[in-house]
């Protein structure tokens, strides 16, 4: 069954897909201006785009290509009739107004394509594995270099060079390099702060390979850690390993989150773990499902997720340890191979 067919079977009414990543996922068509109308019950699909992409659109199998004006929504709206669903979390209000100018009754939806995307096939898993392996090798090369005395910004730039050298098509996101007290900021931007001795350095990095993203975090020591920093590392690692060992298909996102949250809370750092345990990943860095206290998702075989508890102590420092994993019937398959024991860099 194709991805379009899988989506079509789930639909009660036609769906206009305007998320460009979703259009690419369903058809393999990549452009800056496209929309895809998918009919329910195997009724076919229409791919809309403008003149710049006409030849590419006509070559897409399984769809009817229609060439529109560059400002597409008013023209598409004039062609639609009856009840039509749209991606409410993507379509801007101005574009909705233009689409609504036609004769269709527009129905807001969310997550219809995301639910299909969330379950990866083995080809997708292989691409995620390749991205994770390239990311691991790039960071491994960085750990062979000197960090102490260099700025966070310099280390982040060097990591970018090494990731490209090891085969990355690009970064999945801008790398986090956070040393000392900056480690208490979960998404810290690299600064001109010089990495010193006797502290922790957190690196959150990922690459894009064949369209698919990796996402991993490791926290390193620069030697001679204070007892408090060593303790929060050990607590975070225990929590992460517990989650890796316990997550499986059929578990809710809340239950998965609790696997790591409970030992961190029991150790007195519950307030310092303020984000969710993880998120789905694939063509985008953040996809369904969510692993958090607020999640409404249930894990399925084929979901690819991050497992990333963290402890962030304001003014002191922080730890995050993150793996990329595939949910299987009886557990998870971890795609990340970089070691998790505390590594000292110089």
Tokens standing for residue 169: 């098509």
In this predicted structure, what is the pLDDT of residue 201?
98
- 328 bridge partner residues: 331
Q: Given CA atoms 328, 251, 206, 145 in this order, what sign does their dihedral have?
A: negative
CA-to-CA dists, residue 35 to 6, 22, 101, 104, 306, angstroms: 18, 9, 17, 16, 30
Tokens standing for residue 97: 């107004």
Give me the helix-helix angle, 227-246 and 253-266, nearest 10°. Answer: 150
In this predicted structure, what is the pLDDT of residue 103?
86
d(CA 271, CA 281): 26
Strands 34-38 and 15-17: antiparallel
3-state SS string for the chain: CCHHHHHHHHCCCCEEECCHHHHHHHHCCCCCCEEEEECCCCCCEEEEEEHHHHHHHHCCCCCEEEEECCCCHHHHHHHCCCEEEEECCCCCHHHHHHHHCCCCEEEEECCHHHHHHHECCHHHHHHHHHHHHHHHHHHHHHHCCCCCCCEHHHHHHHHHHHHHHCCCCEECCCCEEEEHHHHHCCCCCCCCCECCCCCEEEEEECEEECCEECCEEEEEECCCCCHHHHHHHHHHHHHHHHHHHHCCCCCEHHHHHHHHHHHHHHCCCHHHCCCCCEEECCCCCCEEEEECCCCCCECCCCEEEEECCEEEECCCEEEECEEEEEEECCEEEECCCCCCCCCECC
d(CA 180, CA 253): 31
pLDDT, one tens digit for every residue, the chain (346 residues)? 899 999 999 999 999 999 999 999 999 999 999 999 999 999 999 999 999 999 999 999 999 999 999 999 999 999 999 999 999 999 999 999 999 999 899 999 999 999 999 999 999 999 999 999 999 999 999 999 999 999 999 999 999 999 999 999 999 999 999 999 999 999 999 999 999 999 999 999 999 999 999 999 999 999 999 999 999 999 999 999 999 999 999 999 999 999 999 999 999 999 999 999 999 999 999 999 999 999 999 999 999 999 999 999 999 999 999 999 999 999 999 999 999 999 999 9
In this predicted structure, what is the pLDDT of residue 230?
97
Residues 118 and 299: beta-carbon distance below 8 Å: no
In this predicted structure, what is the pLDDT of residue 68?
97
Of 283, 304, 301, residue with least CA distance to 291:
304
Structural domains in the chain, sorted by start: 3-117 (3.40.350.10), 122-334 (3.90.230.10)
Residues 175 and 154: beta-carbon distance below 8 Å: no
Tokens standing for residue 120: 């990866």
């Amino acid at each position: 069954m194709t991805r379009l067919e899988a989506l079509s079977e789930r639909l009660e009414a036609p769906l206009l897909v305007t998320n460009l990543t979703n259009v690419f996922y369903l058809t393999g068509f990549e452009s800056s201006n496209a929309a895809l109308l998918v009919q329910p019950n195997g009724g076919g699909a229409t791919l809309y785009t403008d003149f710049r992409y006409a030849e590419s659109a006509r070559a897409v199998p399984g769809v009817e290509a229609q060439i529109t004006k560059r400002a597409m929504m008013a023209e598409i709206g004039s062609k639609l009739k009856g009840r039509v669903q749209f991606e409410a979390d993507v379509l801007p209000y101005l574009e909705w107004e233009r689409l609504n100018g036609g004769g269709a009754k527009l129905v807001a939806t969310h997550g219809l394509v995301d639910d299909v995307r969330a379950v990866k096939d083995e080809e997708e898993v292989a691409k995620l594995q390749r991205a994770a392996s390239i990311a691991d090798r790039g960071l491994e090369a960085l750990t062979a270099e000197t960090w102490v005395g260099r700025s966070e910004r310099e280390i982040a730039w060097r990591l970018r060079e090494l990731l490209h050298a090891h085969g990355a098509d690009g970064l999945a996101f801008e790398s986090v390099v956070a040393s000392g007290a900056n480690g208490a900021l979960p998404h810290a931007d690299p600064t001109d702060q010089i990495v010193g001795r006797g502290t922790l350095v957190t690196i959150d990095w990922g690459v894009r390979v064949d369209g698919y993203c990796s996402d991993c975090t490791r926290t390193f020591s620069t030697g001679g850690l204070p007892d408090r920093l060593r303790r929060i590392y050990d607590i975070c690692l225990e929590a992460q390993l517990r989650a890796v060992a316990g997550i499986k298909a059929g578990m809710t996102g809340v239950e998965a989150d609790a696997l790591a949250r409970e030992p961190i809370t029991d150790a007195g750092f519950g307030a310092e773990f303020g984000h969710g345990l993880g998120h789905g990943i694939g063509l985008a860095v953040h996809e369904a499902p969510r692993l958090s206290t607020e999640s409404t998702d249930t894990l399925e075989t084929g979901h690819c997720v991050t497992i990333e508890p963290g402890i962030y102590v304001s003014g002191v420092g922080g730890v995050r340890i993150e793996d990329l994993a595939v949910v299987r019937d009886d557990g998870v398959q971890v795609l990340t191979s970089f070691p998790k024991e505390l590594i000292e860099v110089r």
